[in-house]
């Protein structure tokens, strides 16, 4: 017979990532939780965790068990919050993962409609990571939504719903001093100039390199970045010309102190909302998709 106390301990360890942190949450000793986890694994005939450094990571069997355990205990947490809160005041969690290649200002503007909801109010938990890891958490319902620059990769067997939020061309940005060194019409002005480009994880990287080749322009690639915010930080410090979605050009020129050298629609960057079927009616997901389809990408 399944022991739900042991399952709850398993859920807490999976949720916190370590037995030590689970002990703090449950006010129990490490030997107690370790012993109960061993009993659970023995009863199920499955290995649920493997150790990576000082942390515990779920095995494939562990992820499958968590997919059943998480909705059960999250419902209990939500029920407790509802009972303790004043009627109509309890916020609903909206857990969002953003692929690190997606510009942070795009993520903010996509989530802004969800943050503005009054009924029901939402509390947003947002984290950034590689797309594959975010999709793994989406599959076991640790996330409600993933924002990405690509659909779910074909090699990943995840039952999900992908909605294209929109797309736009890219702009090329540089500090004023670097812009003055870029002489001539765009894009010829990029010839032999330092250029920062997205890393291999970004879909737009290949399109950008092909476009430069078609234009017969040969900038000096001095850096490549998986994290779009890090690339912009280097760019605004003057390390090189950098690219960003055209839709956030006004934000960059106003806040980043840079100039836009030029733009092209030939290199389009798209953005996607990825969710699982049972979450599609989450008010946060509906707010994000409606806001993108009728706002951000309709400029």
> Which position has the token pair 């009054």?
118
H helix or E strand, kind and range, residue 246: none
What CATH number has the domain bearing residue 45? 1.10.10.10
Looking up residue 266, the CATH number of its domain turns out to be: 3.40.190.290
| Same domain? 98 vs 34 | no
Residue 196: strand pairing partners: 223, 242
Per-residue pLDDT of the chain (299 residues; tens, 9 = 90+): 678 888 888 888 887 778 888 887 777 888 888 888 888 888 888 898 888 777 788 888 888 888 888 777 776 666 665 555 555 556 788 999 999 889 888 999 899 999 988 877 888 999 999 898 898 888 878 899 999 999 988 777 777 889 999 899 999 999 999 999 999 999 999 999 999 999 998 889 999 999 999 999 999 999 999 888 899 999 999 999 999 999 889 888 887 789 999 999 999 999 999 998 766 678 899 999 888 877 666 65
Of 56, 83, 110, the domain-final residue:
83
What DSSP letter does each residue of 165-232 carry, written as one string? EEEEEEEEEEEHHHHHHS-SSTTGGGTT-EEEEE-TT-HHHHHHHHHHHHTT---EEEEEESSHHHHH
Mark whether 154 and 244 lie in a shared domain. yes
Domain boundary among 65, 83, 101: 83
Residues 270 and 158 in one domain: yes
Give me the domain span that covers residue 97: 91-299
Residues 161 and 232 in one domain: yes
64 and 115 belong to one structural domain = no
Phi, psi of 76 (to 5 degrees): -65, -40
Q: What is the pTM of this model?
A: 0.67
Split into its structural domains, the chain has a count of 2
Interatomic CA distance for residues 3 and 69, integer angstroms: 12
Q: Please say which residue of 63, 83, 103 terminates a domain.
A: 83
């Amino acid at each position: 017979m399944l022991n739900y106390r042991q399952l709850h301990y398993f859920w807490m360890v999976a949720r916190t990532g370590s037995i030590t942190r689970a002990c703090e949450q449950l006010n129990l000793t490490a030997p107690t939780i370790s012993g109960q986890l061993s009993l659970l694994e023995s009863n199920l005939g499955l290995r649920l965790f493997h150790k990576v450094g000082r942390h515990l990571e779920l095995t494939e069997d562990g992820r499958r068990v968590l997919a059943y355990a998480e909705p059960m205990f999250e419902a209990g947490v939500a029920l407790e919050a509802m009972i303790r809160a004043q009627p109509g005041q309890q916020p609903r969690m909206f857990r969002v993962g953003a692929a690190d290649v997606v510009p942070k200002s795009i993520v903010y503007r996509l989530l802004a409609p969800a943050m503005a909801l009054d009924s029901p109010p939402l509390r947003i938990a947002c984290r950034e990571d590689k797309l594959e890891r975010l999709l793994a958490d989406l599959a076991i319902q640790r996330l409600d939504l993933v924002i990405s620059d690509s659909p779910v990769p074909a090699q990943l067997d995840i039952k999900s719903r992908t909605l294209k939020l929109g797309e736009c061309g890219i702009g090329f940005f540089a500090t004023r001093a670097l812009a003055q060194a870029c002489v001539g019409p765009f894009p010829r002005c990029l010839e032999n100039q330092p250029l920062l480009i997205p890393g291999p994880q970004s879909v737009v990287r290949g399109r950008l390199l092909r476009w430069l080749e078609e234009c017969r322009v040969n900038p000096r690639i001095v850096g490549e970045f998986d994290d779009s915010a890090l690339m912009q930080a280097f760019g605004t410090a003057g390390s090189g010309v950098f690219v960003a979605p055209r839709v956030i050009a006004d934000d960059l020129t106003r806040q980043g102190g840079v100039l836009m050298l030029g733009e092209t629609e030939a290199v389009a960057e798209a953005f996607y909302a990825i969710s699982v079927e049972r979450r599609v009616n989450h008010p946060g997901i509906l707010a994000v998709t409606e806001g993108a389809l009728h706002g951000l990408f309709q400029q």
